[in-house]
Structures are given as C-alpha cells and as structure tokens.
Amino acid sequence: QAAWYLSEALWRASSEMQPDLEPEERWEAIQALLAPAHDPDVPAPEKALLLGRIFQLLLITCLARLVPGS
C-alpha cells in the first residue's frame, strides 16, 4: 500500500519539478525506483527501508518549498 501511495506522491512531485517530462518517461522512472518494493525476492526489511527513505525525500522536498529563499 505504501508503494502505491508513493507512486502518486512521486508523480505529483515529478510533475511539479519536471513538467516537460513525458508521462511515459515519468511512469517508467517511478516504476524503476519502486521496483524493489514489488519484488517478492527482496526481503521485507529492505523494502521498508527503501520506502521509508523515499518518504523522507518527499517530506524534505515538501518542507524545502516552505523555507523562504529556497
């Protein structure tokens, strides 16, 4: 479930930061980033770590927009 939420959040962030990127390219990049989270051979702790790091990056990106002069 977290991976699907992140897909949507990454899509929104990418759309704002790279508006000229083709939708197919955007989706391929997001799928590649989240591929380990969908891979049954990747252990659950590693999936959790990956998804947690992506959540952190999205949070930092969002917070950086709130800082004056950024």
Q: How confident is the model over 1-17, as pLDDT tens digits?
A: 888 899 999 999 999 99
- Domain of residue 20: give its range: 2-66
Q: CA angle, 58 as apex, 53 and 63 as ends, to 5°? A: 125
Q: Which two tokens stand for residue 1?
A: 């479930």
**Predicted confidence band of residue 70 (pLDDT cuts 50, 70, 90):** low
pLDDT averaged over every residue in the chain:
94
- Number of structural domains (the chain) is 1
Predicted local confidence at residue 39, as pLDDT: 96
Structural contact between residues 51 and 37, judged by C-beta atoms closer than 8 angstroms = yes
Q: How confident is the model over 43-58, as pLDDT tens digits?
A: 999 999 999 999 999 9
Percent of the chain with pLDDT over 70: 99
